[in-house]
Amino acid sequence: MPSTVCPETNTEPKDLNEDTPLHIAAAEGEDEMITLLLEAGASVDCRNARGRVPLHAAAEKGYSTCLRILLDKKISDVKALEPVEGEDGEGGAPPPPPADPVAEEVIPDADGEGAEGAEGDGEIFSQSRWREDVVIAPTVDWEGTTPLHLAARDGHIDCVKMLVDGPFPVEIKIPIDAPDMCKRTALHLAAQNGHLEVVTALLEGRADPTAADIEGVTPLHLAIASGFVELTELLIASGADVKAMDVNGQDVLHWAASEGVLDAVDSLLVKGS
């Protein structure tokens, strides 16, 4: 089968957004094309100009079948990292990394500065195991956004459940409370957009309802400001802090009053906020 890799440059073809054909196929829900491209050697970890891999595209559009195919490919790549069997039948240690890999990917912090080592402010995602030319890239873009963020934001419950439930090898497991550059989690985005089923799935997966972003805003702030009363009550029942304050000293009642959300204010007053 012909390869997707250009022999002259040893890279995959990219458009002006640095999307590869696999990015495009994932964004269009073309599962058969994805399978064909992967069989031809397309990289599931190839990034575009935003630092996103094809998994991001499939999750953002809600194409669960495409997402499953891409995840299966990542799982098989992880298995390729397992120690190679030696001639004596015992597993040998993986070979050292290639001469010039990106062994650590630095995700910028809220100030736009990257982390350098343990004392940095950003988050470092390390690639710790190697075999041949297989490298498992962390599934975050340059702003720290994961496929779970995108699926949760847009209410794609099948994709959310797939990413939350797994099971996946630790190398590709997306932490359910993974923060983006602004320290917002998937639960923040689902709550902000009123996706009750997604919020339920995330909470069942032990997402933290008290998580605060860089401005001290919690999922409860976002849900109540948008008038999602049922979602607000679910968050409170799951342990969300009704007294949590943002950086301006405003709790969720302030937010509800500011937005004129009468039902939400009434619900909070009943609960004694």
- Give yes or no for a contact between 203 and 234, defined as CB atoms under 8 angstroms apart: yes
- Candidates 176, 181, 156; CA nearest to 50 is 181
**CA 95/CA 179 separation, integer angstroms:** 32
Strand, helix or coil for residue 190:
helix
Look at residue 119 in the predicted model and tell me its pLDDT: 38
Dihedral of CA atoms 225, 230, 236, 242 in degrees, nearest 10, equals 30
pLDDT averaged over 10-residue windows placed end to end, the chain, 273 residues: 48 86 97 95 92 96 96 86 54 45 40 41 35 56 95 98 84 87 97 97 96 97 90 93 93 80 65 56
What are residue 107's phi and psi, to 5 degrees?
Answer: -95, 125
Quote the pLDDT of residue 120.
37
Q: Minimal CA–CA distance to 145: which of 197, 193, 188?
A: 188
Length of the chain: 273
Query: CA 212 to CA 97: how far, in whole Å?
Result: 37
Pairwise CA distance, residues 192 & 179, whole Å: 15
